[in-house]
Chain A
Amino acid sequence: MELLALKSKLFRKYLYKEILFKLNRWTISSLFIGFLIFLPIGLVILHIGSFTANWRHITDTVLITYSINSIVLVLATVLFSCVFGISSAWVVTNYKFPGHKIFRWALVLPLAIPTYIAAYAYFDILDLFNPFLIWLRSSFGLNTMQLANDMLVYLMTALIMGSVLYPYVYLLARASFESQGGHFINVGRSLGHSGKSIFWKVVLPLSRPAIVAGISLVAMETLSDYGAVKHFGIQTFTYGIFRTWLGMGDLTSALRLAVILLGFTLSILYLEKKIRSGARYGDKSTKSLSYKRNYLKGKKYIFALTVCILPFTFGFIIPVSRMLYWAWLSKNYLIELNIFQLTFNTLTIALLASISTVVLSILLGFSSKYFKSSIVQSSNRFASLGYSTPGAVIAMGALILVGYVSSAFNIIISGTMLLLIFAYIVRFLAVAYQPIISGFEKNCDELNDASKTLGVSPVYSLVKINLPLIKNTLIAAGLLVFIDATKELPLTLILRPFNYETLATATFDLSNQAQIIESSIPSLFIIFLTVIPIIYLNRRIGEGR
Chain B
Amino acid sequence: MSTILTVSNISKAYKKNNIHALSKLSFECVKGEIVSVVGSSGSGKSTLLKLIAGLEIPDSGQIILNDNVVNGESIFVQPENRNCDLVFQDFSLFPNMTINDNIYFGKNAPDNKSMIGELISLTHISDILSRYPHQISGGQQQRVALVRALANKPSLLLMDEPLSHLDSALKESVRGELISILKTLEITVLIVTHDAEDALTMSDKTVVLNQGTLEQFDTPKNVYKYPNSEYAANLFGMTNIIPLKLLPDSNYFFNQSSTGQDVISVRPHQIILDHGKKSTSLPEFICQVKNIYDNGRRCKIELEYKGLLLVAEIENDNLLNIGETKSFYIRLN
Least CB separation from B56: chain A residue? A372
Contacting residues of chain B (18-59) with chain A, CB-CB under 8 angstroms: 50, 53-55, 57, 59
- Which secondary structure dominates where chain A touches chain B? helix
Q: Is the CB of B108 closer than 8 A to any CB of chain A?
A: yes
A187 to B107 alpha-carbon distance, docked (Å): 51
Q: Which of A13, A455, A456 has the largest number of chain B CB atoms within 10 A?
A: A455
* Contact indicator A452/B54 (Cβ below 8 Å): yes
* Contact indicator A446/B105 (Cβ below 8 Å): no
Q: Is the CB of A451 closer than 8 A to any CB of chain B?
A: yes
* Contact indicator A454/B149 (Cβ below 8 Å): yes
Q: Is the CB of A457 closer than 8 A to any CB of chain B?
A: yes
Cross-chain contact of B55 among A16, A449, A464 (Cβ < 8 A): A449
* Contact indicator B57/A454 (Cβ below 8 Å): no
Cross-chain contact of A450 among B81, B92, B107 (Cβ < 8 A): B92
- Residues on the B chain within 8 Å of A457, using CB: 80
Interface string of A6-34 (1 = CB under 8 A from B): 00000001001100110000000000000
Query: Closest CB of chain A to B52's CB: distance in Å?
Result: 10
A453 to B65 alpha-carbon distance, docked (Å): 14
Q: Is the CB of B95 closer than 8 A to any CB of chain A?
A: yes
- Residues on the A chain within 8 Å of B94, using CB: 447, 450-451, 464-465
Contacts A16-B73, A446-B88, A449-B92; A454 near B53 (Cβ below 8 A): no
Q: Is the CB of B74 closer than 8 A to any CB of chain A?
A: yes
Contacts A453-B53, A465-B94; A21 near B79 (Cβ below 8 A): no
Q: Is the CB of A419 closer than 8 A to any CB of chain B?
A: no
Cross-chain contact of B92 among A13, A16, A20, A447 (Cβ < 8 A): A447
A13 to B152 alpha-carbon distance, docked (Å): 33
Contacts A16-B74, A17-B57, A457-B80; A450 near B95 (Cβ below 8 A): no
Interface string of B83-99 (1 = CB under 8 A from A): 11110101010111100
A456 to B109 alpha-carbon distance, docked (Å): 11
Contacts A16-B74, A455-B106, A455-B107; A450 near B86 (Cβ below 8 A): yes
* Contact indicator B55/A452 (Cβ below 8 Å): yes
- Residues on the A chain within 8 Å of B85, using CB: 453-455
Q: Is the CB of A278 closer than 8 A to any CB of chain B?
A: no
Cross-chain contact of B96 among A13, A17, A454, A468 (Cβ < 8 A): A468
- Residues on the B chain within 8 Å of A13, using CB: 59-60, 73
By the criterion of a CB under 8 Å from any partner CB, how many residues of chain B are at the interface? 35
Q: Is the CB of A469 closer than 8 A to any CB of chain B?
A: yes
Least CB separation from B90: chain A residue? A446
* Contact indicator A16/B80 (Cβ below 8 Å): no
Contacting residues of chain A (363-396) with chain B, CB-CB under 8 angstroms: none
Q: Is the CB of B76 closer than 8 A to any CB of chain A?
A: yes
Cross-chain contact of B80 among A20, A455, A469 (Cβ < 8 A): A455
By the criterion of a CB under 8 Å from any partner CB, how many residues of chain A are at the interface? 20
* Contact indicator A452/B59 (Cβ below 8 Å): no
Contacting residues of chain B (290-328) with chain A, CB-CB under 8 angstroms: none
Cross-chain contact of B108 among A16, A451, A453, A455 (Cβ < 8 A): A455
* Contact indicator A454/B105 (Cβ below 8 Å): yes
Query: Closest CB of chain A to B257's CB: distance in Å?
Result: 31
Q: Is the CB of B148 closer than 8 A to any CB of chain A?
A: yes
Cross-chain contact of B106 among A21, A447, A449, A454 (Cβ < 8 A): A454
A17 to B83 alpha-carbon distance, docked (Å): 21
Contacting residues of chain B (124-161) with chain A, CB-CB under 8 angstroms: 148-149, 152, 158
- Residues on the A chain within 8 Å of B97, using CB: 464
Interface string of A434-469 (1 = CB under 8 A from B): 000000000000110111111111000000110011
- Residues on the B chain within 8 Å of A464, using CB: 94, 97, 105
Q: Which of B50, B90, B107 has the largest number of chain A CB atoms within 10 A?
A: B107
Q: Can you list 23 A-B pairs with a CB-CB distance of less than 8 A?
A: A13-B73, A16-B73, A16-B74, A17-B59, A21-B57, A446-B92, A449-B86, A450-B92, A452-B54, A453-B53, A453-B55, A453-B82, A453-B86, A454-B80, A454-B85, A454-B106, A454-B152, A455-B83, A455-B106, A455-B107, A455-B152, A456-B105, A457-B80
| Seed contacts A13-B59, A454-B148, A469-B95; 16 additional CB < 8 Å A-B pairs | A13-B73, A16-B73, A16-B74, A447-B94, A449-B53, A449-B88, A449-B92, A453-B53, A453-B55, A453-B85, A454-B149, A455-B80, A455-B107, A455-B108, A456-B107, A464-B105
B residues contacting A by CB (< 8 A) are 50, 53-55, 57, 59-60, 73-74, 76, 78-86, 88, 90, 92, 94-97, 105-109, 148-149, 152, 158
* CB-based closest 9 A-B pairs: A455-B107, A450-B92, A454-B106, A452-B79, A21-B76, A453-B86, A468-B96, A455-B80, A17-B57
